[in-house]
Structures are given as C-alpha cells and as structure tokens.
Structure 1
Amino acid sequence: MAIKSNSDVIVVGGGVVGLTTAVVLAESGGQVRIWAREPGERTTSAVAGGLWWPYRIEPEELAGEWALVSLAVYEGLAARPDETGVRMVEGVQGGAGLDELGEWASRVAGLRAATAEEYPGGGLWARLPLIDMPTHLRWLRERFLAAGGTVEERTVTDLAAVDAPVVVNCTGLGARELVPDPSVRPVRGQLVVVENPGVNTWLTSVDHSGSESTYFIPQPGGLILGGTAEEDAWSLTPDPVIAEEIVKRCAAVRPEIAGARVLDHRVGLRPARNAVRLEREVLPGGRVLVHNYGHGGAGVTVAWGCAEVAARLATV
C-alpha cells in the first residue's frame, strides 16, 4: 500500500526494526526520515546473534506470521551474503519439538526432527537465515538512503512533539520512558565472540525456565557463543564469571571451542513486553503515531513482517 507522495514520516529509532520499517515506508513512496539517538552499530540490534527464529516474543500466532514474511525476504537476500549479511545455514534447535511450536513451524521448509548424530539430546534440524548484524544494518541504512530517506542523530524526549504528519515509534527499550510504557523491560543477553575453530553449523539449546542458554552461531567476525536471558537486568558490563560459564557450556557440546581465542565480549538488552505493540494512535490535530516495539529477542526475525504492518498503519 503506497504512502501518499506528500507524506512526511519520521521513524524514531535506528535499530533493525526502525531501519527495516523506514526502508518499507520509503520504498512505498513516503518522504521518510529516521531520528535516532545513536547509529545502528551501537544499538542492541548490533549485538544480536542474528539467527532467524521467533524467540522470546508474543503473541506467538502473530509473531509467527510476521516471522514468515521476514523469512521469505531473508531467503532472497541470502543470494547476496557479502552485501546483505544474510546466509542460509544448517543447525539444530536442541531440545525443541514440532508439537511445541505454533502453526508457523509447518510452513518452514525442511524443518524436521534432528537425528541422534546431529544432536544426541534430540531437537529440530533446520536451514535458517543467519544475519551478520553489523553488515545487515549497514546494508539497510544504504538501501534506505538510496530510496531517498535521510538519517539524523537526535534524541527524542516527547513523541507527541515530533513535528511530522506521521511518526513511527521503533524505540525498543526506549519506549519504556518515551511513551511511557513501564511494561517494556530489559532481558539481558551476554555473549562471547571467539575465533572460530571450524564450526560451520549453528546450535541453540534454550531452557525457558531459567536465565541460561547454550548456543553458538558462526558469523564472519567469529563464532558467537551464548548466552543469558536475565529478566529486568540493566547492566551493559560483561560479567567475566558468566563469560567463562558460557564458554564451558558451549565447549561441552563442541570441545574444540574450549581452546578458542576470545575476540570480544558483548551485552545487549532485549526489549521485552508481554506482547508486541504494533498499532496506530491518532494524536490531537489528526497526526498519526504508529507504535512498533516490544519485539523481545526476535527483532530481526519479525522485522520485515512488522514493517509491512507498520507501513499500512502509517498510511494517511
């Protein structure tokens, strides 16, 4: 659905959700600007492991539909991995079963039970998009600029005061104070990046009842090891004890990881909410405010699906 050519849209937020939404709006014919307090490479999105999977996001049925829209986009982008940062890579969701997943799972081509050789503990095998986030964020920004968009680094303290006919709120965790919406809360994720000792498949094993998980994701910049899911934890400082435990858990699955040289430690705060807020609000004077935040640990997974919905809601 095309935006009227004389529309002026400001997208607040420059992470993967904000950038993707801005791309869809700009390519629909809108005059679009991004206002972000920091560049994409300094957002939570840049820290993400980048595996496509509807993780820690509600409501599941809608999230599954948004994720499938994104999956189709990423499958196309994977033809140009060096440019887009997207590759299709095999791996196992350890401990997961098809009966535990929503209807969306039946529409993921090739998703099946893992063999004992693939993962002794059982799980699901899949060939899914892996998104190298720094590369992908740069590509999104360049695509947005090529569509006539502009990016400004500026801090917004009042959404209602943003002077545009249409404002799209993609501020993630920032929505907690900006809306304000106290139901948005951080779920802290800590990662370790090591020199890849030859691992070319990904693996995740998530304990949804606890704050620890085990996963490794091969990216061009190294093997990403995780992780944690600490509710309501705000610290962005890597904890050396947690880092050591992450390496040990991953090495228990792939022993060669134990001796890998550590390249980096990363921490990101997932913007969790009991449900994604994706809705249109009409402000005094007829201006439109579209909310698109609260994607938890699945921002990159649902980015394109949510962007399409946000673009329809923004139509004036």
Structure 2
Amino acid sequence: MSTLAHSEQPTRITVIGAGVIGLSSAHELASAGHQVTVIADQDSLETVSAVAAAIWFPYHSENSPAADLLLARSLARFEQLADIAETGVDLRTGLNVDHVPGADRSWTKIVANVSEAPPADLPEGAFAGAYATVPIITMSTYLLWLKHEVEKLGVTFIHETIKELKELEHDADVVVIAGGLRGGELLGDDDTVYPIRGQVLRLANPNNLRSWLCDDDYPDGVSYIIPRRDDIIVGGTDTAHDWNQEFDPATATQILCRATALVPELAGLQVLEHKVGLRPARASIRLELVSGHPLPVVAAYGHGGAGVTLSWGTAQRVAELVDSALS
C-alpha cells in the first residue's frame, strides 16, 4: 500500500524530462492521484520525441519479455487514442521489409493483423515482408495534446536544468528520471547511454499517401516512409555515437534518393523541413528503482529509437515502481 493511502497529502513526484516518456509518466502518475511536477530544460516540441517519425515499431530497442510487455501496453493505449481525432494518432497499414532470412519478427506476435507480403510487393533484393496496421503518431499534434491532458490533471511545469538529484530532496518524495541522454549523467552511475543520430525530411503530402514502408536493412542505408495527416516523414540515418545535431545536405539527398526508389510517388514533393534528433540508446532500457540517493528514484530511459513506441507501457511501469517505492 502506498504512502498516499496513509496521508491526506498527495505524494510529491518530480519527473525530469518533458519528452514523450516524461509526459506519459506524468500523466499516469497524476491520474493515480499524485502531485506531479515536470522539470525540463527543453520544451516538449524541442525534444527528440518531436523528431520521431513516429510509427509504433520497436526500432533500435531491446528484444526481451519485459520490452514485449511495454510494447503491448503501449499498442493498446495508442489504439484507444486513435479513436480521438485531436490526439494525432491514426491506424495505418504498411509494409515492413526483411532483407535477410531469420530477421527479427518478434513484434508481429503483439500485432493482431499481420500478413505476409507477396513477392511482387517487395523491393528488389528483399527476402520477405510483412503487412501490418499500426499506430502512426503526428508528434507535433500529439505532444501538444498530451501536455494539455497532463496540465488538466494538475501537473505543473518548470523550465530548469537539474544538475544533481540532491537539488530536489526537499521538494519531492520521489523522482522519475526520464531525461533521455542525460539519464545516466543525472544518476551518476551509468555511462552506457549513447546517441544514435537520426536525420529525416518532412515532405508535403498533397496526394494523401497513406501506406507506410520501413526497410531497416536497405542496402544503401536505413529507409522509412511514414505518411502522417498533413506530411510525410522520410528517413533516415542511424549513426551510433554521433552527437551532430545539424542537418547534412548530402545526407538529405541520399535519404530522399533511396526513399524515392522505394516509393516513386515521393518524386517532386515539396521538402517542408529537415530535422535531426539524437535517440537515447543503451544495451537495455533502464526501467527500475535506483537506491543510494537522497530520495527514491525511478529510472526510465535508454529507449533507443522506440521511445514513442514504448511510452505508455513505460509510463504504466513507472507508476508501478513508484507504488513499490512508497509501500
């Protein structure tokens, strides 16, 4: 039983980070009756979450039973949100391409409507492919909606950089670290977090292209085409340990060239924006209670390229860990 049950005062929880993991965690914690404050040095639309394509898919994240639970929980929530137009969440059908035998398809056991693609539908050189209907999230819309929902639950936001957790020991009962690349730095015991640089283009979608395509092993580089409501995200890059946040014109040309080879309908579409984000990667997601600090700490970082995909499952697990810390 949590402290909340023994006290008239709600438990004070500080969430560090205003990306999709931080906002989702704040939502679940506030929904449970906690008094939640989000502290971040970036607005939600400035985080790597805002750069995400964002298709429900476990890209550059761990493959484990624990991760599968996060995936399933998140998928269920996004499917519910797809019924609410203002969330920016839509269910779209598309093709995931495999270039080698034995490619990891563990994600397909979580999705209800996967079917094998006929050979005629595959890009040249592909071994196999699977059609699936999964959530596509327009992040500019979704992050604003989610922040609004969180604020309606009474969550407050502070724009500040936290350098050490002891700064919070008098203002919080529990701290949740959802700080992405800074997660290990804030805890001071984890130097295993590293960036995977992603560069994408945002194209106009005048012809209302709807089907997505992901080809992680495309011979010339990872390629994905994700049509959203009013645009198309085309990517990308997956360069580990690259901290460069400036877009590279030559890389953009290469991305668009291989994407157009896969989806000829992209030819000639207006480029609306170039975007770069640093995915917070780790050998495994860190989602656990951490001892040895002035107050209880829950770590929630290291999601690689699957932060959006795993966000609601992570948030639910954060709430469970907070209850454990307070029991």
For the aligned pair, the TM-score class normalised by the smaller chain equals: over 0.9
Alignment of 1:77-92 (within 5 A): 77-81=81-85, 83-92=86-95
Alignment of 1:114-125 (within 5 A): 114-120=117-123, 121=126, 122-125=128-131
2:69 to 65, 72, 84: 65
- Report the counterpart of residue 167 of structure 1 in structure 2: 175
Alignment of 1:50-199 (within 5 A): 50-81=54-85, 83-95=86-98, 100-101=103-104, 103-120=106-123, 121=126, 122-163=128-169, 164-180=172-188, 181-198=190-207, 199=209
TM-score (norm 2): 0.90
SS at match of 2:267: helix
Worse-matched range after superposition: 112-121 or 234-243: 112-121
Q: Does 1:14 align with 2:18?
A: yes
Check the 8 A contact 1:197/1:256 in 2, yes or no.
no
- Report the CA distance between 1:261 and its aligned residue: 1.3
Distance 1:105 1:174 in 2: 32
TM-score (norm 1): 0.93
- Report the counterpart of residue 48 of structure 1 in structure 2: 52
Cα 1:265–1:104 change in 2 (3 A) is: closer
Distance 1:39 1:127 in 2: 31
1:307 to 304, 307, 315: 315
- Report the CA distance between 1:50 and its aligned residue: 0.6
Check the 8 A contact 2:220/2:258 in 1, yes or no.
no
Identity over aligned pairs, percent: 38
Distance 2:268 2:145 in 1: 34
- Report the CA distance between 1:101 and its aligned residue: 3.5
Q: Does 1:276 align with 2:279?
A: no
Cα 1:143–1:211 change in 2 (3 A) is: farther
Distance 2:178 2:147 in 1: 15
How many residues are paired up?
313
- Report the counterpart of residue 212 of structure 2 in structure 1: 202
Distance 2:167 2:220 in 1: 38
SS at match of 2:163: coil
Worse-matched range after superposition: 111-120 or 185-194: 111-120
Check the 8 A contact 2:58/2:107 in 1, yes or no.
no
Cα 1:109–1:99 change in 2 (3 A) is: farther
Worse-matched range after superposition: 125-134 or 111-120: 111-120
Check the 8 A contact 1:97/1:124 in 2, yes or no.
no
SS at match of 1:183: coil
- Report the CA distance between 1:62 and its aligned residue: 1.8
> What is the root-mean-square deviation in Å for CA atoms of aligned residues?
2.0
Worse-matched range after superposition: 108-117 or 182-191: 108-117
2:255 to 242, 246, 263: 246
- Report the CA distance between 1:223 and its aligned residue: 1.1
